[in-house]
């Protein structure tokens, strides 16, 4: 397992007793990311045993309160906990000003390095990359500047085929890294053992696409193509499609169409409007278009 998603909150607008605004914790290829940070996120993190210290990168989709009003509280808590590691926050232009003002007027003391990466591009771009993961923006269509995020594992080394390698005593443990890196091995008699004989293909690279608040936007299908998991907002059902268009949100059916066109493996629905008493209605509508659908619920863990 190299991809695990924990839903911390998945409802729209204001927090309620059993309805928490958007926040997710993603583990992919041994990296740990927080995606959006609605009000009460850090309490949800404690409830579902998300390690505060593991998070070094936070991705905010847009500056509506139900997606980032929990960020200042989390940052302040990191200060109280005497955090020393760098914290990187990715989000729309203006997020640095919004958080900086709150830290300033409250005289909160943040002694750890806090880095803001403000985004304004209207086309998809790579905003984070290390040796294990790349993150690209997914430009969305909402009432204010909004991005989703695509998290992609980077190429893994090939796996050693120990059954074959054990037949050649000349291959020592110190040679393994070179073989995993793709090199052939030359025996003393001059015979060249091809790398594809000595190794097995690595597991398929995992992809997670997060699409928060957005009007129906079919063009994103190309960016998120073949994702293992797609989270797509579904604030309304088709009975409110006109309202969805007016407020720049999506219906469950529209989210399912995106999933089908992008050929993703699993669709996760969320950001439900409180006007619907039964969220299973979202599942039923989406399944008329796309089979593999999951409803987001606080505390739910989804793996791929």
Active site positions, annotated? 66
Burial of 166 (0-12, 13-18, 19+ CB in 10 A): exposed
Q: Which residue has the tokens 């927080």?
A: 34
* Cα dist from 207 to 24, 133, 210, whole Å: 15, 10, 10
**Six token digits for residue 267:** 């669709």
**Six token digits for residue 105:** 């007027």
Evaluated on CA atoms 114, 230, 211, 236, the torsion sign reads negative
d(CA 34, CA 81): 18
- DSSP notation for 104-140: HHTT----S-EEEEEE--SS--EEEE-SSEEEEEEE-
By residue count, the chain amounts to 304
DSSP-derived letter for residue 244 is H
């Amino acid at each position: 397992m190299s991809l695990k998603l924990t839903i911390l909150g998945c409802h729209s607008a204001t927090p309620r007793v059993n309805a928490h605004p958007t926040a997710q914790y993603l583990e992919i290829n041994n990296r740990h990311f927080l995606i959006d940070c609605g009000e009460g996120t850090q309490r949800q993190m404690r409830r579902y045993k998300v390690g505060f210290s593991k998070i070094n990168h936070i991705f905010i989709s847009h500056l509506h309160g139900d997606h980032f009003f929990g960020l200042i509280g989390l940052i302040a808590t990191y200060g109280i906990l005497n955090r020393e590691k760098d914290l990187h926050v990715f989000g729309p232009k203006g997020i640095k000003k919004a958080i900086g003002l709150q830290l300033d007027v409250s005289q909160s003391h943040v002694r750890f390095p806090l880095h803001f990466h403000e985004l304004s591009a209207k086309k998809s771009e790579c905003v984070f990359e290390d040796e294990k993961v790349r993150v690209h923006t997914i430009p969305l269509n909402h009432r204010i500047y909004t991005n989703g995020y695509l998290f992609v594992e980077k190429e893994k080394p090939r796996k050693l085929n120990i059954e074959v390698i054990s037949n050649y005593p000349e291959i020592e443990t110190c040679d393994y890294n070179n073989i995993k890196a793709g090199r052939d091995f030359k025996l003393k008699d001059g015979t060249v053992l091809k790398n594809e004989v000595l190794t097995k293909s690595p597991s398929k690279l995992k992809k997670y696409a997060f699409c928060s608040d957005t009007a129906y936007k079919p063009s994103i299908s190309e960016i998120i193509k073949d994702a293992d998991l797609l989270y797509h907002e579904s604030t309304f059902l088709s009975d409110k499609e006109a309202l969805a268009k007016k407020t720049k949100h999506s219906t469950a059916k529209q989210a399912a169409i995106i999933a089908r066109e992008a050929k993703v493996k699993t669709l996760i629905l969320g950001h439900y409007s409180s006007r619907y008493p039964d969220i299973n209605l979202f599942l039923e509508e989406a399944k008329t278009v796309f089979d593999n659908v999951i409803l987001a619920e606080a505390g739910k863990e989804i793996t791929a």
